[in-house]
Amino acid sequence: MSEDPIHPAAAGPEPHHPAALAGGAAPAAPSASPTAPATTVIGPAELVRFTNVTKSFGEGAEAKVAVQNVSFVVHDLPNAGELVAIVGPSGCGKSTVLRILAGLRPHFPPTSGEVHAFGQPIAGPAADRGMVDQKYSLMPHLTVQENIAFGLKLRGVSGKERRKRAHVWAKKVGLDGAEDKYPSELSGGMQQRVSIAATLILEPKILLMDEPFGALDPKIRMQMQELLIALWREQQSTVFIVTHSMEEAVYLGDRILRMAARPGRLVEELEVPRPDVPPDVMRKQPWFNELTQELLRRLETDAPALGPLPGLEQWRAGR
Ligand SMILES: Nc1ncnc2c1ncn2[C@@H]1O[C@H](COP(=O)(O)OP(=O)(O)OP(=O)(O)O)[C@@H](O)[C@H]1O
Ligand SMILES: [Mg+2]
């Protein structure tokens, strides 16, 4: 099976619907041709690899460097995915990193460097990398159920099967009963849940989320975090989540990629505790505040790599 042709997200019938961003028009396929030439030798168990990735917009003196020399590896853990939180000041290139990984123009392709997913060079959007965007764009003329099932429709799944599976997903995200409503009748939190369901129904191996809970009130936000953890456990996908909330990064992440601006770059990778308790419980742990405060301090001062976060020993000792 060959890779999707490189195409902008706008190539699909509805450019910003999660299904289009997830490469929903394509059948579930490996992200690149098995015969595609790989210039970097990589291990079989690597899920994502960025190697010296630089992205500039514009040419010559006008060129603006969005990210410079970003390198990291995320491994494919057997029967478990990782939750990778990306944090950094506004404009440091978080969305750029995520969109390169999604294969979405104009961020993709990078100006230089290599990006691999599943051991193959990324060539564009694909169904195995689903994206929930900063603005959860749904199709206004479709109902909740139709929005959730849209990617399945693009894949040629029958109407009966689509309704069945969309109903299962509507239930999972707490929207059963709202399936016949239109997006304009929903709150922001409900729209976000439709968007998440529309992406996850396609069972992407890698889930990319760009500030997905930014616009939600604290209570709904916490519910959405718990929902995400539950779905992540169930699907065993690897999740990349961009967030401006240090609490969210520490709570949700197994690992945090801390970026800095001017130029946008990756400063350090930090281990944080797995989200193995509900957010309100983790937030009450004595080490939680120390971890988040230190992370915030590093972010605000654009500190160089400083090694493991200090509250981590406390967390390990308490386990
Ligand atoms: N399509 C584009 N054309 C030109 N420059 C761009 C484009 N997209 C991003 N940039 C620039 O690249 C840099 C990184 O942008 P990016 O959106 O990745 O930052 P970010 O970390 O996601 O910021 P925020 O937290 O505000 O969402 C910024 O300076 C931005 O102006
Ligand atoms: Mg952004």
CA distances from 115 to 11, 39, 222, 256, 257 (A): 22, 10, 33, 19, 16
The conformational region for residue 227 under phi > 0 = left, psi -120 to 50 = alpha, else beta, is alpha
Residue 129 Cα to ligand 1 midpoint, Å, equals: 21
Q: What is the pLDDT of residue 28?
A: 35
The torsion angles phi and psi of 116, rounded to 5 degrees, stand at -125, 145
Cα(129) to ligand 2 centroid in Å equals 18
Look at residue 43 in the predicted model and tell me its pLDDT.
52
Residue range 197-208, pLDDT digits in tens:
999 899 899 999
Give 95 Cα–ligand 2 centroid separation in angstroms.
Answer: 4
Residue 214 pLDDT: 80
Nearest atom, ligand 1, residue 244 CA: 25
> How far is residue 123's CA from residue 35's CA, in Å, rounded to a whole number?
13
**How large is the greatest C-alpha to C-alpha distance in the chain, in angstroms?**
56
Indicate whether 52 pLDDT > 80. yes
Q: Which pLDDT does position 56 carry in this prediction?
A: 97
> Which amino acid is present at 94?
K
CB 82 within 8 A of CB 235: no
Question: Of 103-117, 131-145, 180-194, where does the model show the most confidence?
Answer: 103-117
Q: For the ranges 98-107, 177-186, 284-293, which has the lowest average pLDDT?
A: 284-293
Atom of ligand 1 nearest to the CA of 93: 18
- What's the pLDDT at 22? 53
> What pLDDT is recorded for position 268?
97
Distances (CA, A) of 64 to 57, 95, 110, 295: 5, 15, 13, 27
User: Cβ(299)–Cβ(89) under 8 Å?
Assistant: yes
Q: How far apart are CA 151 and CA 284, in angstroms?
A: 40
Relative to beta strand 64-75, strand 46-57 is antiparallel
pLDDT at residue 149, rounded to an integer: 96
Residues with C-beta less than 6 Å from any ligand 1 atom: 57, 64, 66, 88, 90-96, 106, 264
* Ligand 2 center from residue 177 Cα (angstroms): 33
Ligand with an atom nearest the CA of residue 107:
1
**Cβ < 5 A residues, ion ligand 2:** 95
- Going from the Cα of 206 to the center of ligand 2, the distance in angstroms, rounded, reads 18
What is the layout of strands, in order, in the sheet containing 46-57? 64-75, 46-57, 112-117, 120-121
- What are the pLDDT digits (tens) for 62-119? 899 999 999 999 988 777 789 999 999 999 999 999 999 999 999 999 999 999 999 9
For residue 306, give every residue at least 6 positions away whose Cβ sits within 8 Å of its Cβ, in sequence order, or none.
268, 298
Q: Which residue has its alpha carbon closest to ligand 1 atom 24?
A: 90
